[in-house]
Structure 1
Amino acid sequence: MHRPPAAEAEVAEELAAVRPALLPRYTAELPGARAAVLTRLWRALAHEPLPWITGRTHGAHSLALRLGDGRTLYGPPADPYATSAYVTGVRLGRERQVDPAALMTALAVPHAAEFAAELADSAASLALSRADADHSKEWPVGVPPAEGWGKDWAWEQRVTDGHPFHPNCRSRPGFSVAEQLAYGPEHRPVVELGTVPVPADGCLVAGDWPAELRDGERVLVPVHPWQARHVLKRSYDPWRPARPLLSLRTLALPDGSHVKTTLSARLTSSVRDISAYSVRAAVPLNALAEELAARADGLLHITRTLGAVSARSPGLAALLRESPEVYAGPGERVLPVAALPMTGLPGAPGWLAAFTRLALAVGLRLLDLGVALEAHGQNLLVVLAADGSPVRLVYRDLADIRISPDRLRRHGIAPPPLTGRLITDEETVLRRKLFGSLVAGALAGTAGSGPALATALSAAVPDLPDTPDLRALREGPLPAKALTLMRLSPHTPGDQWASLPNPLVLEPGPSDQ
């Protein structure tokens, strides 16, 4: 019998105090949430280069993982591109495990205890998110503007499950239940943002910082209430109501623009502050984005950073950006790719192949020019015609792209005056960035399974220009971030990678050492 971990009981206790009417639905959603997190964890165990897994044996209807301590873990075949919660239990020796946190505790590998706590939090938070979902799952859906606001935030708030492949898809350590309900986009709140005044000579400012966020010799830095309370530990002045978007820390303002605030909480893998490096890079990246969009045959828009500020601290910084909605024409809608499964469109005849062809054409074109996009389902958006057909893409947030000066120069593009982590000419790094985010991320999450992804790629690839990058995508294994390995390697900096079976040739061999 499953014994609820502490995270589930704590959420239930808090929920009974702050939203008691939601408690029955939360309880009902827990088994499905555990299965969703367990499925993501099983994918990682099956495919990531975890040092304590010494062998993998594939059967027709099972997968056995040999552990370094002599035990064996048994479960179903692991589709690395599946998004449904198809793993409801695995067997460690003779014991059946249905809870991802309990499984990780039983594995007892280095750093398992910390990761188990995150898994328990992820499952409990996911159940809370699903319990509070309140939207239609059909296309088209009328999204009436609220108080004159744009409609893009409404689509973003339909995504309840977070990252489609990360076991920490909904882990929000440091957030109480009341704070999740108050700030999580899937709970549809209005967040009252504030500002913190900082002497102008103590700020780094880029772009056109608006007059309303200046006060004489001071710059007013937008601040998220959670950040002010838990990190800055200070009061702030009221500023604007805002609607949280997929990334939680980016919010839609009433005028339609977006503000990216600092939120020093670990969401999925990393604590994502806004660095001074990102602020300094904002203006050069705007110029590069304009050049790239001009060479994308009208198939890509890139949102501009309107202004950026850092109070010389990663804990207090903000960016103002265009809304992707400004690139929608009459009758068109702009949706983040992460929201596409909610529409039912990927199941329409030919739709997934058309979208895959569009996304690969744009991603590979920019890679050939010299820029690898971090094109996961949150950063990448699609412009849909009135009938739902994909017509163009919108990309936002250039903070984690990779730029190849050599490739840019070959195409007559002046590299931006930047150094540091965004700049590399290494082909492996560039291809990992794009293929891992776009194919193993956005396209796989939209397809929902390996066979569906393979079918879409098979239809799209023959229509694309034959380049070395496309051949690398077609012929080699598919790179994907080893998300669980990274969480279990807290002292190893940077990304770590797994090699997934090529979606065009999915069948594994009889054994994998």
Structure 2
Amino acid sequence: MRRPSPVETRLAAELAEVRPDLVDRYAAELPGARAAVLTRLWRALAHEPLPWVARRVRGAHSLALWLADGRALHGPRADPYATGAYVTAVRLDGEAYDDPARLMTELGWPHSTGFAAELGHSAASLALSRAGQEAGSPEWPGSDWEWEQRVVDGHPFHPNCRSRPGFSAAEQLAYGPEHRQAVRLETVPAAAGDCLLIGDWPAELRDGQRLLIPVHPWQHAHVLKGGPAGPWRDAHPLMSLRTLALDGGTHVKTALTARLTSSVRDISAYSVGAAATLSSFAGDVADRTDGLLHITRTLGAVTAGSPDLAALLRESPQAYAAPGERVLPVAALATTTLPESPSWLAGFTRLALTVGLRLLDLGVALEAHGQNLLVVLSGTGAPLRLVYRDLADIRLSPARLRRHGITPPDLTGRLVTDDETVLRRKLFGSLIAGALAGTAGSGPALATALEAAVRHLPATPDLTALREGPLPTKALTLMRLSPEVPGDQWTALPNPLAAVR
């Protein structure tokens, strides 16, 4: 019998202390969790421009990777848009590996040791996430945060889908949205004169000449090292873990200086300074979509001179639902029966592409992955319109904006570019290779939905690029294996539209 990895053993020992009732369920979930992470890793090995892979030979049902050092990897054919855990093992020079962390360690590439540790965390945390699930209710949730807590497996394509290094079992159970616990937020006081404040800041978060900054309890304990703080309010963790919903609707985005999937989740002064301008501008541009898109407004943002101590207040996407309608993140669609209908998927795909391409043509490239992009459904489940939140990583093109008679906002830095490749990568990689692929669940299903949708869309250079070129997506594994390279790195996936021509 296969031995558990050190991180799996450590998590099991912690569970035995805090939730002994979950130990057996956790052990039972480990093989499936390893397969889910291994499937995501195999997708990366099959499709990313990894310099340690010299050649790929694709068969009808298999894939062989010839490595630069002469070794060979063999596994099943990799559908870059599949979300099921279909890879239970791959063979490296004939030896089977069912553990993604062990495989990465054996590959021995630069930075593979650190990445292997993250893969181990991902599989172990995913098993814990699955172990804590109760029988699902057939009823649709009534609150927006309940939809978010249905998403158990995290990012559908990232091998670090549930990597939470630095979080104990008790902390994951307390703070992970999939475990459905309320989190008591704290506040840290800071002199108003030492803070950058944008927008409005509510009276309950003021104390004379001091601003009270909402802080996640994990951040307070591990990063701020238990400095002065006071309890504030209970909140419900959302998909990003560090963003939480208050009773009454407001969402609070906190700094969380931990590496979740690829990034450390702090809040930069740049993001705070741009928050109000972006919020106002994006809302104005969304008005040009004939009511098909709403942008959640940033109500206030503050930083006390450190990315470790900052927070944003946003309105809830629920504000854009009429009575009888539901608003849910696109990532949560996989928890419903709706994506099983090809006609429903085609209609949703058409809505998403209509909005995404319209904004791109205007000069706004959304990072419309399944967490940032939400859909408003009618009482019968029909997709009506979209809601977008978290503007921190969109891209704006001054040239495109001016071409449409729109004055660009007074912003500089990474948000601003006229590079068409960058703009298209931002939208296509997040919306099509991310949100739509994750909803479709396979290449054939995605191809059918895209083909049904694009024939009704206005002809633009961006649509031509979508139809005729490869589909860009972030090279998530390459990025983890080359941390010395700043910024995003990309790969090109086979265009799903080519399969239906």
- TM-score, length of structure 1 as denominator length: 0.96
Distance in 2 (CA, whole Å) between partners of 1:380 and 1:501 is 24
Cα gap change, 1:397 to 1:38, in 2 (>3 Å): same
Count of aligned residue pairs for this structure pair = 499
Determine the structure 2 residue equivalent to 1:113: 113
Distance in 2 (CA, whole Å) between partners of 1:212 and 1:97 is 54
Determine the structure 2 residue equivalent to 1:47: 47
Query: Secondary structure, in 3 states, of the residue corresponding to 2:87?
Result: coil
Q: Is the 8 A contact 1:137 1:343 kept in 2?
A: no
Distance in 2 (CA, whole Å) between partners of 1:499 and 1:349 is 26
- Show the 5 A alignment for 1:25-424: 25-136=25-136, 138=138, 141-144=139-142, 151-233=143-225, 234-424=227-417
**1:238-294 deviations in whole A, cap 9, x for unaligned?**
111000000000000012110000000000001021111111111111221121121
Determine the structure 2 residue equivalent to 1:499: 492
Q: Is the 8 A contact 2:29 2:131 kept in 1?
A: yes
For 1:153, the aligned partner's letter is: W
**Structure 1, unpaired ranges of 5+:** 145-150, 508-513
Q: Is the 8 A contact 2:330 2:373 kept in 1?
A: yes
**Structure 2, unpaired ranges of 5+:** none
Residue 349 (structure 1) shift: 4.2
Distance in 2 (CA, whole Å) between partners of 1:112 and 1:247 is 26
Q: 19-28 vs 285-294, which deviates more? A: 285-294
Query: Secondary structure, in 3 states, of the residue corresponding to 2:416?
Result: coil
Cα gap change, 1:288 to 1:237, in 2 (>3 Å): same
**1:64-113 deviations in whole A, cap 9, x for unaligned?**
00001101100000000000000001111110111101111111111111
Residue 143 (structure 1) shift: 2.7
Cα gap change, 1:506 to 1:485, in 2 (>3 Å): farther
Q: 129-138 vs 245-254, which deviates more? A: 129-138
**1:398-453 deviations in whole A, cap 9, x for unaligned?**
00000001111111111110000000000000000000000000000000000000
Q: Is the 8 A contact 1:356 1:443 kept in 2?
A: yes
Distance in 1 (CA, whole Å) between partners of 2:483 and 2:96 is 28
Q: Is the 8 A contact 1:346 1:352 kept in 2?
A: yes
Determine the structure 1 residue equivalent to 2:10: 10
Distance in 2 (CA, whole Å) between partners of 1:90 and 1:383 is 41
Q: Is the 8 A contact 1:196 1:223 kept in 2?
A: yes
- TM-score, length of structure 2 as denominator length: 0.98
Residue 124 (structure 1) shift: 0.4
Distance in 2 (CA, whole Å) between partners of 1:319 and 1:74 is 47
Residue 13 (structure 1) shift: 0.6
Distance in 1 (CA, whole Å) between partners of 2:135 and 2:326 is 17
Equivalent of residue 476 in structure 1, options 463, 469, 479? 469
Distance in 1 (CA, whole Å) between partners of 2:82 and 2:216 is 35
Q: What fraction of aligned residue pairs are identical, expressed as a percent?
A: 74
Distance in 2 (CA, whole Å) between partners of 1:386 and 1:78 is 37
Determine the structure 2 residue equivalent to 1:148: none
Q: Is the 8 A contact 2:395 2:416 kept in 1?
A: yes
Residue 211 (structure 1) shift: 1.3
Q: 228-237 vs 294-303, which deviates more? A: 228-237
Give the root-mean-square deviation of aligned CA atoms: 1.0
Runs of 4+ in 1 over 6 A off after TM superposition: none
For 2:369, the aligned partner's letter is: H
Q: Is the 8 A contact 1:228 1:235 kept in 2?
A: no
Distance in 1 (CA, whole Å) between partners of 2:297 and 2:134 is 32
For 1:201, the aligned partner's letter is: G
Distance in 1 (CA, whole Å) between partners of 2:156 and 2:302 is 32
Q: Is the 8 A contact 1:133 1:158 kept in 2?
A: no
